[in-house]
């Protein structure tokens, strides 16, 4: 995920417990990402090499490639898709679906922009400025969409591989990705939480005429 980083603010009892091996993997991935972000800030994306990242993270280049197939994946990948989906599945069964989605996405946006604001802005800028990063994001959206489709199917009763669920899941992923691009393209002036609400309003209610925004649909 990019701007939509799932919240780490949930308690440890709410999250899947990780073994020592998985914690070590997360530590290594985090070190690689932190090194990448630092180097990009210092010298730019194109000038940053895998060898430099490996040296800064104190791992071998082969280790970097074992965790991240491409440099773009280092920027785009985070640890929190599963946690986001875990929290989504944990919402009350009788809660309206869009209320659940809105709750989770607002938590995700709030975390990404308040706990890690510099990283969120850097990732958003790279999505706008670097075609390779944006292209890789589009490729990775399908994997995230499949994970979300599983949660959508569980809540709605539709088959996970049905056209309806696939379209709905990818509409959510695509819409939320556009928030990140819009936010960066407009110099981060907008409140990301407001952008998330606007995006979810469109997905929930459709696109109304500009003159009726905020007034509800016309009779």
Give the residue from 128, 116, 113 showing the smallest Cα distance to 192.
113
Q: Which of 75, 74, 58 is nearest to 125 (CA)?
A: 75
- 48 domain residue, yes or no: yes
Residue 126 lies in a domain: yes
Q: Give pTM, 2 decimals.
A: 0.77
212 falls within a domain? no
**7 assigned to some structural domain:** no
Task: Kindly list the distances between the CA atom of residue 51 and the CA atoms of 34, 45, 47, 56, 58, in Å, as whole numbers in the listed order.
Answer: 14, 13, 11, 9, 10
- Whether 4 is covered by a domain: the verdict is no
Is 219 part of any domain?
A: no
Average pLDDT of the residues in 5-11: 35
Residue 124 — very low, low, confident or very high, per pLDDT cuts 50/70/90? very high
Q: How confident is the model at residue 16 (pLDDT cuts 50, 70, 90)?
A: low
Write the CATH number for 69. Answer: 1.10.357.10
Residue 155 structural domain: 12-205
Question: Does 148 reside within a domain?
Answer: yes
Q: Does a structural domain hold residue 185?
A: yes
pLDDT by residue (tens digit) across 74-111? 998 865 566 677 888 888 888 888 898 888 888 777 77
Q: Is the pLDDT of residue 216 over 50?
A: no
Average pLDDT, stretch 143-162?
Answer: 88
If one counts the domains in the chain, the total is: 1
């Amino acid at each position: 995920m990019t701007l939509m980083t799932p919240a780490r603010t949930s308690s440890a009892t709410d999250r899947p417990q990780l073994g020592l091996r998985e914690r070590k993997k997360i530590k290594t991935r985090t070190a690689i990402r932190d090194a990448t972000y630092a180097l990009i800030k210092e010298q730019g994306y194109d000038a940053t090499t895998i060898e430099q990242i490996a040296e800064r993270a104190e791992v071998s280049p082969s280790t970097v490639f074992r965790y991240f197939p491409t440099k773009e994946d280092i920027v785009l990948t985070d640890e929190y898709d599963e946690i986001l989906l875990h929290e989504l599945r944990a919402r009350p069964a009788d809660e309206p679906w869009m209320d659940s989605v809105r709750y989770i996405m607002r938590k995700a946006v709030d975390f990404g922009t308040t706990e890690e604001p510099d990283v969120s802005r850097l990732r958003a800028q790279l999505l706008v400025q670097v075609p390779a990063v944006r292209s890789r994001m589009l490729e990775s959206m399908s994997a995230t969409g499949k994970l979300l489709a599983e949660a959508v199917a569980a809540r709605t009763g539709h088959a996970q591989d049905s056209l309806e669920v696939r379209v709905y899941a990818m509409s959510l992923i695509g819409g939320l990705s556009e928030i990140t691009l819009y936010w960066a393209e407009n110099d981060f002036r907008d409140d990301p939480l407001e952008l998330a609400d606007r995006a979810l309003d469109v997905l929930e209610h459709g696109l109304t005429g500009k003159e009726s925004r905020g007034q509800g649909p016309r009779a």
